[in-house]
Structure formats: structure tokens, C-alpha cells
Amino acid sequence: MKLGISSYSLNKRLRTGEMDIFDVIDWAKAHDCAHLELVPFSLPLLNAEGKIDYDYVSRIRDKAQSVDLPLSVFSLNACVIKPTEAERRAEIERIKMYMDMAHFLGMKKMRHDTCSGQHPEGINTPEQFEKDFPAFVAAIQELADYAKSLGMNTTLENHGLYVNGADRLIRLVNAAGRDNVRMTIDTGNYLCVDDEPETAVKKCVGYADMIHLKDFYIRKKDRMLPQDGMYTAGAKAAPRPMPTPEELKKMPPRLGYVGTASGRHILRGAILGQGDLDIWAILKTLKDAGYDKEISIEFEGMEDCEAATEICLNTARYIWERV
């Protein structure tokens, strides 16, 4: 098992400035990670002109090489469904820009969304998906062809709400018809559209090039405290500026819920093996299928992120040895 972490797991430390990405690299190496997955959150990857800051990126590459920690995947939020063709083209070119960066870092794969979150118009119906399907496929093919020229795979994740179910993602990968288009399977995200995770993983494991190993608590929405803002499905929070690191330290903890598409349940990130997913069954499915590529711990709960991520790593190793 090539077990590592996503830098997202330690994003609480990155957001407040208590850690930087170089500290995360050291942390991952000290905890025997086989790789590190990078996400752009809290990383100053862009310069003032909105282009990749290759001086900073070079430092990341050199640091990882100095401790012999492979950088496995770069994971990017994106949405190729746009109101205008000019906006769609700009988004595809933005993804390619990050693909060049991932290639510079020595990565052999990059995960990008097709539609991060809900449809831009808030419409997640099957009819809307069929309408958008050709545009999705065309974008996936163009990006896959560009990745191929760099010797890379692309991966699509069950992420957000619109393109989150196993069946929709399988259709997109198959329709793309490119041998370098694969999947990033997030074990928890299937719940966002009320898919059953164990069944969904069995459907998708043959397409997988990366696993996000994640656990959730699942609760009935009408039995939990109400919460406004970004973690409430369907809610449109008023725009607000990003808090500074100093402000973040003073803010009370959020409830941390994310609503499911049906509106019946809410989810909250859990330490692996302590939530409501059957992690034993999921890891057995991966092992029985002969999955031998990277697995990233993706922790997004309310507990201390360093302690929780360490427990997640130890739990994954413990279970893998026994399934």
C-alpha cells in the first residue's frame, strides 16, 4: 500500500500560518508517508500576475527531493461548464497551466474537477447532466491529450454534487475514450449524493489511479443544530472576505457539516475508522482488486488535524494488514 497524505489534511495549520508546505513535507516524511499529494489551498502558488510562481514551486520540488518524498498528484478544483465559450476556454487553459506545474514537480498524474460543487446554475438534474455531457467529454478529452503530451494521466474525482455519483463518473471516463483518463476515488464523497460508498467503490475501483481515504459521520439533518454558510447544502451564504490567519485563530469552531444532495442528511469529517463508513470493507475491496497505486489520507474533521491525521495513517495501516 502506497499510503500518504493530502496536504489538505493539514490545511488548518497551513491556513493559520502555523505550518507551511515545507513543514508539511517534513511532517509527512517523519510519519513514514510513501507520497504527498498537493492541493492548492493555502499555498501561494501564483504570482501577482496570476501565473505560476516557479521560484516557490522549485523550492517545493527541491525540498521534497531532499527528504526523498515523492510528490504524487496535484488536485485542482475546477469547472468546465461556463456561461460563455470565452470563460470555458479560460478555465481549460487555467487547468493546463497547473498541469504544466505538476509536470515540473515530477508528477505523473493530475486530478481536476469537471464541475466542482453544484452546477453553476444550481441545477443538478439528470436532464441538465445530459445537456452538459458533450461539453464535459470534450473538455476531458482536450485536457487528457495535453496531459499525454507531458507523459501524465488525468484523474476525475467524485467531488462536489453535480458530478459526484459513481455512475456519472463512469460514463464520463468511458465516453472520453482516453487511456490516460482515470479516477480519483474519494471514499466519503459518494455520500454527498446519497451513493452507498462500499458499492460505489466496487463499481469504480477498476478505473482508479488514486484513492482519497476519508471517513464521515452521517446524521439526519433535522436532528442537528442549524448552520448557515458554505457547509449547508443549497445555502447561498453572503460573500465575505477571507479571514486573515490572526482572525482565524480567534474564530469559534464551525459546526463543520456538509449537506447531502437529497437534503435528508448532513455529513461531518471523521477520523478514519471512527465514523460511519465501513473502512474495513472498503480497504478489503481495494486489496482484493489488487489496487497498488497511491492512497491519500484526506482528513477534514474538527479534531486537531495533526493528531487526527496521524491516527488516520495508523488506522489505515492496521486495517490493511488484517483485511
| DSSP secondary structure letters along 144-165 | HHHHHHTT-EEEEE--SSTT-S
Cell 488506522 belongs to residue: 315
Give, for 230, the enclosing helix (H) or strand (E).
none
Residue 312 identity (one-letter amino acid): C
* Cβ proximity of 175 and 134 under 8 Å: no
Distance CA 27, CA 211 (A): 20
In a domain, 244, yes or no: no
β-sheet with 215-220: strand ranges across: 215-220, 265-270, 258-259
Helices 197-204 and 279-288, axial angle in degrees (round to 10): 10
Residue 93 located in a structural domain: yes
Task: State how far the Cα of 111 lies from the Cα of 109, in Å rounded to an integer.
Answer: 7
b/e string for 96-118 if b means 16 or more Cβ within 10 A?
bebbebbbebebbbbbbbbbbbb
Question: Residue 132 domain-assigned?
Answer: yes
CB contact at 8 A, 184 and 209: yes
Q: What CATH number is attached to the domain comprising 35? A: 3.20.20.150
Considering the domain boundaries, does residue 270 fall inside one? no
Query: pTM for the complete prediction?
Result: 0.91
Is 236 part of a structural domain of the chain? no
**Class of residue 239 by CB neighbours under 10 A (exposed 0-12, middle 13-18, buried 19+):** exposed
Would you write out the chain's pLDDT as a tens digit for each of its 323 residues? Answer: 999 999 999 999 999 999 999 999 999 999 999 999 999 999 999 999 999 999 999 999 999 999 999 999 999 999 999 999 999 999 999 999 999 999 999 999 999 999 987 676 667 889 999 999 999 999 999 999 999 999 999 999 999 788 889 999 999 999 999 999 999 999 999 999 999 999 999 999 999 999 999 999 999 888 877 654 433 333 333 444 555 667 656 655 555 678 787 788 889 999 999 999 999 999 999 999 999 999 999 999 999 999 999 999 999 999 999 99
Residue 291 lies in a domain: yes
Q: Report the domain count for the chain.
A: 1
CA dist., res. 169 & res. 162, Å (int): 10
Asked if the structure places residue 233 within a domain, the reply is no
Q: Which domain holds residue 71?
A: 2-217+275-320
Q: Is residue 224 part of a domain?
A: no
User: Cβ distance 169 to 141 under 8 Å?
Assistant: no
Cα-only R_g, the chain: 19
